[in-house]
Amino acid sequence: MNRTDVFRRDDYTCVYCGESSPEVDLTVDHVEPRMRGGDNSSGNLVTACVQCNREKGGQAAWAFLEDRPDQRARFLARATYVWPRLRAAIREAAS
């Protein structure tokens, strides 16, 4: 899956903050960073704006979203294609 495919699938909208192109610059984010064992599969890639991606940095999405209930809810509502184990980790981290 290439960048354009990821952006198209996510409707050119950041799964974290909900901002969309062309108002914001978009990037592809790894829900589970590659440096932490994540891969480039479609179930691990999401669209993120530059600001959210910068704030998230090398954290896994569950760590980034742990204390961000609005962004977590938006992510879970929009990123339904993310691997179930990653979605479960996001829900679990919030408990």
Q: Which domains does the chain have, with CATH numbers?
A: 3-93 (1.10.30)
pLDDT of residue 20: 93
Residue listed under structure tokens 């959210």: 52
Query: Across the strands, what pairs with 45?
Result: 30
Residue pointed to by tokens 């108002």:
23
Other CB atoms within 10 Å distance of the CB of residue 10: 20
Whether pTM exceeds 0.85: yes
Tokens of 64: 């980034």
- Whether 3 shows a pLDDT value over 90: the answer reads yes
Evaluate if residue 1 carries a pLDDT over 90. Answer: no
Rounded Cα distance between 80 and 73, Å, is 11
Model confidence pLDDT, tens digit, residues 55-90? 999 999 999 999 999 999 999 999 999 999 999 999
Give the Cα separation of 21 and 11 in Å (integer). 9
